[in-house]
Structure 1
Amino acid sequence: MAKLKQVIKAELDPRRPVPEIMAVIEAMIVSNPGHEGPILLGVYDAVQTALDRMTKKGGVTNGK
């Protein structure tokens, strides 16, 4: 019996982190119709946790 597996593979340029991360998020949203909300809420929670951790360590910068 055939086994089917959907996989998204990405090569990311670490010199362009924001657009690369945004492209991955968009790819996951497009690949999971009907699950956009939970995906975005999960990303939001993870980002908030990271920002909270950074703030406790001495601040958050805007990267500019």
Structure 2
Amino acid sequence: MFYLKHKGTRLEIGEDNVYTTCPKCGKEHKVDICDILGGGDADLYGTNVYCHECSVKRDDEVSTR
């Protein structure tokens, strides 16, 4: 089991309490840590997760190139 520690208190990491910030717009959004780390190649420091809106815009930009 992994957990965070804040002022001596353990904070469980679960599928319903993991958040990140979109690298493009800065919006905080919930992520499924199992989906992100499930492939085996991800790491917590080098992984960026875009919010839904920025993901759609990014996909549109890539498909029009």
Q: Kindly indicate which of the two structures has a greater share of residues assigned to helix.
A: 1
Same fold (TM over 0.5): no
Q: TM-score, normalised on structure 2? A: 0.30
Greater relative contact order (Cα 8 A, min sep 6): structure 1 or 2? Answer: 2
Q: TM-score, normalised on structure 1? A: 0.30
